[in-house]
Amino acid sequence: MKKIFTILLLFAAFTTLNAQDCLLEKAPVQDLVQDYAGVMSEGEEQRLRQALLAFNDTTSTQILVVTVTNLCGYDKAEFTYTLGEKWGVGQDGKDNGIVIMVKPKEIDGRGEAFIATGYGLEGVLPDAISKRIIENEMIPSFKKKDYFGGIANAATTVMAITGGEYSADEYAKSTGAKNAFPFLGVILIFIFIMAMKASKTRKYASTNNLGFWAAWSLMNASSRSHGGSFGSFTSGGGSFGGFGGGSFGGGGAGGSW
């Protein structure tokens, strides 16, 4: 009996550790980009983070990008929306969170991607559109081992649709989406970052009774002294306040390669 009890305790401990390793209990870090698979450079990760932070500040919609090395025995759908639910991605009451999950093919020979949508965004970003985004924007780049390109394409497309730049129907009907977005992805990220920076510059100029360009120069000088405009999470764009407690109901779509 004692041996059985010991075995059960060890099994429980292993299960707990496994859950923590698989990220399904609590967010280890409050951050909108979590590259556990190591597929992005530091600069790429920072640029993506700044864009997602700017979008969060502007719309309150939280888009989490997470790359993982294993799905812990779950299928990609269950893993992704369970992670979003456990971590509380999105705002409580609005349920406006999105999780973009990628498991690289190089890990075990099968690449997996899934976009999970919170309850509040299922109508704005239907499952069929999430499927198109994965097939058109992500997998072609992933097959070339360009993980940042595919992730950036997906993130900027999701931001454009949920931010109202164009509708899901317009995206579905667009004829040049597959070829255009690999180039538009980086451009849109730059636009989001610059729009956020311009807004903060105007506020800084007004507070300190400065002209816009004088304020811009002073803020850039301050950013450079702290490692550059993309050198840290806080420079040029504030800091992430944390996940807000949103809920997920299983909406979304995935793909493999």
3-state secondary structure of 192: helix
How confident is the model at residue 239, as a pLDDT? 75
How confident is the model at residue 143, as a pLDDT? 96
Residue 233 lies in a domain: yes
Mean local confidence (pLDDT), 154-159:
93
Check if the beta carbon of residue 129 is closer than 8 Å to that of residue 166: no
100: CB partners within 8 A, 6+ apart: 63, 64, 65, 66, 113, 114, 115, 151, 154, 155, 158
How confident is the model at residue 112, as a pLDDT? 98
How confident is the model at residue 241, as a pLDDT? 86
* Dist. CA 207–CA 189, nearest whole Å: 27
| Both structure tokens of 113 | 């991607």
Model pLDDT for residues 58-108, shown as the tens digit of each residue: 899 999 999 999 998 899 999 999 999 999 999 999 999 999 999 999 999
Tell me which amino acid residue 227 is. G
The model's pTM is: 0.73
Examine the pLDDT at 232 and tell me if it is beyond 50.
no
Model pLDDT for residues 15-49, shown as the tens digit of each residue: 333 433 678 877 888 999 999 999 999 999 999 99
Residue 23 lies in a domain: no
Examine the pLDDT at 146 and tell me if it is beyond 50.
yes
Residue 177 lies in a domain: yes
Residue 5 lies in a domain: no
* Dist. CA 112–CA 104, nearest whole Å: 7
In which band, very low, low, confident or very high, does the pLDDT at 238 lie, cut at 50, 70 and 90? low
| Both structure tokens of 209 | 């009774």
φ/ψ (deg, to 5) at 165? -65, -40
Alpha helix stretches (DSSP H) within 88-211: 105-108, 127-133, 139-143, 147-162, 168-173, 177-207
Residue 13 lies in a domain: no
What are the beta bridge partners of residue 114? 101, 254
Examine the pLDDT at 147 and tell me if it is beyond 60.
yes
Check if the beta carbon of residue 146 is closer than 8 Å to that of residue 185: no
Examine the pLDDT at 2 and tell me if it is beyond 60.
no
How confident is the model at residue 17, as a pLDDT? 36
Residue 187 structural domain: 30-256
| Both structure tokens of 197 | 């920076």
Domain CATH for 152? 3.10.310.50
Residue 18 lies in a domain: no
Q: Which whole-number Å values give the CA distances from 114 to 67, 156, 251, in the listed order?
A: 11, 15, 10
Residue 17 lies in a domain: no
130: CB partners within 8 A, 6+ apart: 115, 117, 252, 253
Residue 206 lies in a domain: yes
Number of independent structural domains in the chain: 1
* Dist. CA 145–CA 111, nearest whole Å: 11
Q: Which whole-number Å values give the CA distances from 248 to 80, 98, 112, in the listed order?
A: 10, 9, 20
- Percent of the chain beyond pLDDT 90? 54
Check if the beta carbon of residue 116 is closer than 8 Å to that of residue 84: yes
DSSP letter for 230, please: T
What are the beta bridge partners of residue 63? 98
How confident is the model at residue 14, as a pLDDT? 38
Model pLDDT for residues 201-231, shown as the tens digit of each residue: 777 667 776 676 665 666 555 444 433 332 2
* Residue carrying the six token digits 């239907």: 126
